Amino acid sequence: MNMQALLKQAQKMQKDLAEKDKELKSKLYEKSMGGGVIKVVMKGDMTIESIEIAKELLDKENKEDLQDMLIAGLNEVLKEVNADKESTMNQITGGIKMPGGF
């Protein structure tokens, strides 16, 4: 393969990575915990879009349960965002680690 073709292929891969990264950052991820009493929605850029809490969890007696479920929900949705990003980028790069935070 000549250098020009290799450079062209690298530029296409870079463009594809940038497009997928932009797409992933705007994608919404949702996780429910405790049978649906907590729902966390996060965008792919790691910003929280919304958190819904059922009324029955807002009692003082349920404070620890609420905190635990929020932590679990946030951690689960973060895992999903990271796994989706890694999987998508691996499809484009063929598993080759790219510099620059891709």
Give the DSSP H/E element, type plus range, for residue 38: strand 38-43
CA distances from 96 to 4, 61, 91, 99 (A): 20, 50, 10, 10
Please check the confidence at residue 43 and state whether its pLDDT lies above 90. Answer: yes
**Residue 102's pLDDT band (cuts 50, 70, 90):** very low
Against a cut of 0.75, is the pTM above it?
no
Average pLDDT over residues 7-19: 86
Give the DSSP H/E element, type plus range, for residue 43: strand 38-43
Query: How does pLDDT run across 48-84, given as a tens digit for each residue?
Result: 999 999 988 887 788 888 888 899 999 999 999 999 9
- Orientation of helix 3-26 relative to helix 63-93, angle to 10°: 160
> What whole-number distance in Å separates Cα of residue 75 and Cα of residue 81?
10
Q: Domain spanning 27-93 has what CATH number?
A: 3.30.1310.10
